[in-house]
Structure 1
Amino acid sequence: MKDRNSPDISFIEQVAERFGQVYFSFDTSTKTFRHISPGFEQVLGISSESIKASPHSFVNYVHEEDIDFLAHKYTSLLLSHEEEQVEFRVVLGNQEVRWLCVSAVMVQEGDQQLIAGLAEDITEYKEYIRNIMKYNNKKNSTLEILSHDLAAPFANIQGMINAIEEQIQAGEADIQQLLNFIKQDALRGSDMIRDFVDHEFLESSQVVLHKERVDLCNKLAIMMDNYRERQSRLAKSFHLVLPERPVFLYLDMMKFLQVMNNLVSNAIKFTPDNGNITVSVQEEEGHVLVTVADTGIGIPAKVQPHLFERFTVARRAGLRGEKATGLGMSIIKTIVELHKGEITFQSQEGVGTTFYIKLPKE
């Protein structure tokens, strides 16, 4: 008779499969699988029955570079009886490479020793980590190049400022040419930075989301504090309106902050001095509403329908001549939609623009 306190294997399997995991047990003496969850086929497209009928055939799916490593881990588990967690690659029939994470432990059943554990497809997680490392390395190398390239225009600016000071002291009034040189070098430097930021923003929208539960209000408060510290230099006032309680959402916060920073950056570019930029968060039924509002020059009515298009005709230089690529708003829309959200806007020329982002409560 079954002990009513013992776990129901079918129930455990159902729970594991809901989380993308596969349960298995392997008899070390007969070298056969005692059990493999039916979900094995859903995870990898390989029939669990075929693997049970011919256990060694699973090795044929293991990436050739990982076979020795997997064999070493198997031997280590047999000798130590310590829990092992191993990540390795499998190659499916269509040559698609997938990553598996297997957590296994030795268990005793009568006089037989079994290896029991869970297998999970971690391909998307591995891809996310790979992209993070790739972009981090790229960022570091690009920043090195950028700092080198910016050294020349900034050195020129410093030299011309010194020349202007000398002319002022000598009573010479004709300094317009030097001022024009400073303006050109400053614009060239800012264009380099803008190109770098735009390119990073574009590439970051093309990778898998890594969502985690975050306090959205806390993250936006930190972001807006950074703008408030510079508001005197930016000649704008920054405001943040938050609900009394924290708002928790599952977001890829790094990408969502890129969206928010881009919207605020656009607001800065198109808001005259002494204008206001306000970010607010409001909980509504079924979703959270995030808004970015400015008192800027607004978006011309004729280009509003094209605002979210790639390389849109709606692109405009900022009030101080800041460069525009026409990609920013399309990338913002992509990232918001990856979060299953929606972005809309209202704008009136001479009055300002407000962007609305609706994010679902999961």
Structure 2
Amino acid sequence: MPNFATFFLDQAIASSHIQFIYDPLVQRVVFVNAAYERVLNGTTAGVNAELPALLQRLHPDDLAYLTHYWKRWVAGRQPDEVEVRLLHPGQPHQWFCLTPSHELLADGRVLLGGSLRDISVMKRYQENADLFNSRKNATLEILSHDLSGAFIMVQQIAQFLREEVASPVSSRVPDMLSVLETTSRDSVTMIRELVNLEFLTSANTDLKVDRVDVGAVLRVPLDQLQTGQRLLGHAFTYTLPTEPIYANVDVNKFTQVLINLVGNAFKFTPDTGHVAVHIEPGPGVVRIHVVDDGVGIPLAMQPYLFERFTKARRPGLRGEATTGLGLALCKTIVEWHHGHISVVSSEGNGSTFTIEIPRAETKGSPAILGLVGLAG
């Protein structure tokens, strides 16, 4: 029976993923399996000569991030898995997931090992799923606002006619108006419950965090919201950072937080008002501001805004109902991202909700290019 070392070596050699061992002392790859030739089109015998060109193809936005990761790995502070992109001119990026290992030998030497998996197909599938969910959630919010407004108007007209217009004796008009009023009210409730259920369901699923360019992933729902609100005759604008800002985010959950905040802004902003979203970098954080010039929030309500079933809940300007859960869930999801949400508001002067979450980048030069002493 083979010993464990032989068994695991055989497994590494036969693996469909790239398996490697790197010796920092001599700055050389001392083992790589045949998957390297298949996945990266290199040669196992020439891996050290090919490594500089391979490192030069790393996505520039990943370099500072990898520098920090490399320092932790060499020092034995075992990092988690990391995802990186390899550039291919004129083709989509190739995504890899690195699972690291750190081995301290009896003679004091350190060997760094790892498994490198090509996850390009999975990443593109996830990006498409996130894109679909973002558009779906933004569309639901727009439709709920549009349809709720129409049903509320029908309900109000029915109430007015029932109260103000005299009907002949034995007329069925009062009963028909009551049915119309009840149906409209129930329809508004059903629409809002559908949107709230979608948010609650998403909030109760496991967090799936990816390192993403925040502006790029939020552009999709913001575009959708802008198009929808323009069709409804409302003013909605947004601004994005000029350079990529990376953060570790569950795209689906974080998108729903943004949509919820924008939806709330429209609830309490007259049709002639404005709602805007601004995404910008801060010191070590990404900041997202949702700004409106609506009716504002009374000072007495503000300490309770982020409580579950908050006593600060109130219907929207067009009669939109509220569960008192939305802002509490937003706060929970933001905190899951190690972030913070706050509000500045005064009655008659609108509100600004601000989210801050940590950036994924770390300061430092792209030292990862010099990890094997092959690039300056």
TM-score range, shorter chain: 0.5 to 0.7
1:274 aligns with 2:272: yes
Are the equivalent residues in 2 in contact too, given 1:209–1:252 (CA < 8 A)? Answer: yes
Are the equivalent residues in 1 in contact too, given 2:265–2:292 (CA < 8 A)? Answer: yes
Task: Go from structure 1 to structure 2 and tell me whether the alpha carbon gap of 1:180 and 1:321 turns closer, same or farther (over 3 Å shift).
Answer: farther
Residue of structure 2 aligned with 1:215, choices 193, 213, 216: 213
Are the equivalent residues in 1 in contact too, given 2:214–2:246 (CA < 8 A)? Answer: yes
1:18 aligns with 2:18: no
1:357 aligns with 2:355: yes
Task: Go from structure 1 to structure 2 and tell me whether the alpha carbon gap of 1:176 and 1:290 turns closer, same or farther (over 3 Å shift).
Answer: farther
1:343 aligns with 2:306: no
The residue identity in structure 2 corresponding to 1:343 is: I
1:321 aligns with 2:319: yes
Task: Go from structure 1 to structure 2 and tell me whether the alpha carbon gap of 1:183 and 1:275 turns closer, same or farther (over 3 Å shift).
Answer: farther
Between the aligned partners of 1:207 and 1:322, the Cα distance in structure 2 is 27
Instruction: Give the secondary-structure state (helix, strand or coil) at the position aligned to 1:230.
Output: helix
The residue identity in structure 1 corresponding to 2:79 is: R
Instruction: Give the secondary-structure state (helix, strand or coil) at the position aligned to 1:229.
Output: helix
Task: Go from structure 1 to structure 2 and tell me whether the alpha carbon gap of 1:188 and 1:211 turns closer, same or farther (over 3 Å shift).
Answer: same
| TM-aligned CA deviation for residue 218 of structure 1 | 2.4
Residue of structure 1 aligned with 2:189, choices 188, 191, 194: 191
| TM-aligned CA deviation for residue 180 of structure 1 | 5.6
The residue identity in structure 2 corresponding to 1:242 is: L
For residue 237 of structure 2, what is the aligned residue in structure 1?
239
1:261 aligns with 2:246: no
For residue 94 of structure 1, what is the aligned residue in structure 2?
none
Between the aligned partners of 2:244 and 2:300, the Cα distance in structure 1 is 39
Are the equivalent residues in 1 in contact too, given 2:292–2:351 (CA < 8 A)? Answer: yes
Between the aligned partners of 2:81 and 2:212, the Cα distance in structure 1 is 23
For residue 331 of structure 1, what is the aligned residue in structure 2?
329
Task: Go from structure 1 to structure 2 and tell me whether the alpha carbon gap of 1:302 and 1:280 turns closer, same or farther (over 3 Å shift).
Answer: same
| TM-aligned CA deviation for residue 14 of structure 1 | 8.2
For residue 309 of structure 2, what is the aligned residue in structure 1?
311
Task: Go from structure 1 to structure 2 and tell me whether the alpha carbon gap of 1:298 and 1:178 turns closer, same or farther (over 3 Å shift).
Answer: farther
**Bigger Rg over Cα:** 1
**Deviation digits for residues 188-241 of structure 1 (CA, Å, limit 9, x no counterpart):** 123112213223322432333211122222233221222222224534200102
For residue 68 of structure 1, what is the aligned residue in structure 2?
none
Are the equivalent residues in 2 in contact too, given 1:286–1:360 (CA < 8 A)? Answer: yes
Between the aligned partners of 1:291 and 1:117, the Cα distance in structure 2 is 41
| TM-aligned CA deviation for residue 284 of structure 1 | 1.4
The residue identity in structure 2 corresponding to 1:245 is: E
- The runs of 5 or more residues in structure 2 that have no matched partner are 1-22, 32-69, 83-100, 103-112, 116-125, 141-146, 159-171, 361-376
For residue 293 of structure 2, what is the aligned residue in structure 1?
295
Are the equivalent residues in 2 in contact too, given 1:224–1:238 (CA < 8 A)? Answer: no
TM-score by length of 1: 0.53
For residue 76 of structure 1, what is the aligned residue in structure 2?
none
| TM-aligned CA deviation for residue 351 of structure 1 | 1.4
Between the aligned partners of 1:269 and 1:320, the Cα distance in structure 2 is 7
Between the aligned partners of 1:267 and 1:311, the Cα distance in structure 2 is 19
Query: How does 1:91-102 map onto structure 2 within 5 Å?
Result: none
Task: Go from structure 1 to structure 2 and tell me whether the alpha carbon gap of 1:313 and 1:20 turns closer, same or farther (over 3 Å shift).
Answer: same
Two-structure CA RMSD over aligned residues (Å): 4.3
Between the aligned partners of 1:305 and 1:291, the Cα distance in structure 2 is 19
Between the aligned partners of 2:114 and 2:227, the Cα distance in structure 1 is 52
The residue identity in structure 1 corresponding to 2:267 is: K
Instruction: Give the secondary-structure state (helix, strand or coil) at the position aligned to 1:289.
Output: strand
Between the aligned partners of 1:275 and 1:282, the Cα distance in structure 2 is 23
**Deviation digits for residues 81-106 of structure 1 (CA, Å, limit 9, x no counterpart):** xxxxxxxxxxxxxxxxxxxxxxxxxx
Instruction: Give the secondary-structure state (helix, strand or coil) at the position aligned to 2:321.
Output: coil
Task: Go from structure 1 to structure 2 and tell me whether the alpha carbon gap of 1:175 and 1:268 turns closer, same or farther (over 3 Å shift).
Answer: farther
Task: Go from structure 1 to structure 2 and tell me whether the alpha carbon gap of 1:175 and 1:239 turns closer, same or farther (over 3 Å shift).
Answer: farther
- The runs of 5 or more residues in structure 1 that have no matched partner are 22-37, 40-115, 119-128, 144-149, 162-173
Between the aligned partners of 1:16 and 1:226, the Cα distance in structure 2 is 43
Between the aligned partners of 1:277 and 1:213, the Cα distance in structure 2 is 28
TM-score by length of 2: 0.51
The residue identity in structure 2 corresponding to 1:257 is: T
Task: Go from structure 1 to structure 2 and tell me whether the alpha carbon gap of 1:6 and 1:293 turns closer, same or farther (over 3 Å shift).
Answer: closer
**Deviation digits for residues 125-153 of structure 1 (CA, Å, limit 9, x no counterpart):** xxxx9xx9xxx9xx9xxx9xxxxxx9xxx
Between the aligned partners of 2:231 and 2:174, the Cα distance in structure 1 is 24
